[in-house]
Amino acid sequence: MKVLFIGDIVGQPGRRAVKELVIRLREAQGLHFVIANGENAAGGSGITPKTAEEIFAAGVDVITSGDHLWDQREVIDLLHQERRFLRPLNYPPGTPGRGSVVVRKEGLPPVAILNLQGRTFMADLDNPFHAARAEVERLRQETKVIIVDFHAEATSEKIALARMLDGRVSAVVGTHTHVLTADEQIFPGGTAYLTDAGFTGPHDSVLGRDIAPVIQRFVTNMPQRFEVAKDRVLLQGVTVEIDETSGKAVQVRRVTETLL
């Protein structure tokens, strides 16, 4: 089976890219399952039920998130009502929502998606390494096809978690930095890895935001309003081909598609 993982969707331009390009990619590349990180989908910060529904309607099967989870207050409804929307698993017990899901589609093995958040240079959540070990073992009782979105800042933290899970999951894909990395590989145990899936949105920008206010912030250290940029919209991410019987990755490729 072939899975597409889409890097962080940023604002309306990112949602438009998903809407127009996912259907083409499904047909051209024979995709069976699509995952997208949507934590910046609503105005460039956070996600709402309305923007999530727009992404699902475009052909995305599961939406993951990260440190901007709480930026839109409407997200609480999404967490309570939508099982296809994930928040990082390593929030404390009692936090609304879920950190993993197993999706069953006709003609495919069950597909498990696990969402985790790093702690280096980020909020001090529960240890993602401990959370990952326990949850992966639970998920493997249902399926061997498991994809992990590790939303983290530090490259070393991402690599270490993926190495720990090598042979236990199909893929570990990093998100958060919005920079598509060139280190896609398959580890010895059969786990595909990419440090960061980049972002889906306007790339004539600073990580999806208008350039001038970001420069001004660095120059003056004064607060600025960071609007979502508009131009050179790309869809970025990675495709992983997975052996349905073993759950091991057999191919991994970066994806960059231009919205014309």
CB 184, CB 162: distance < 8 Å: no
SS3 of residue 30 by DSSP: coil
b/e per residue, 82-102, with b = 16+ CB within 10 A? bebbbbbbbbeeeeebebbbb
Active site residue 68: yes
Catalytic residue among 32, 68, 176, 178: 68
Closest CA to 36 of 50, 74, 17: 17
Closest CA to 10 of 83, 68, 80, 75: 68
SS3 of residue 209 by DSSP: strand
Q: Count how many residues are written for the chain.
A: 260
b/e per residue, 116-155, with b = 16+ CB within 10 A? bbbbeebeebbebbebbeebbeebeeebbbbbbbbbbbbe
Q: Compute the distance between CA of residue 139 and CA of residue 119 in angstroms, rounded to an integer.
A: 23
Q: Which residues carry out catalysis?
A: 68
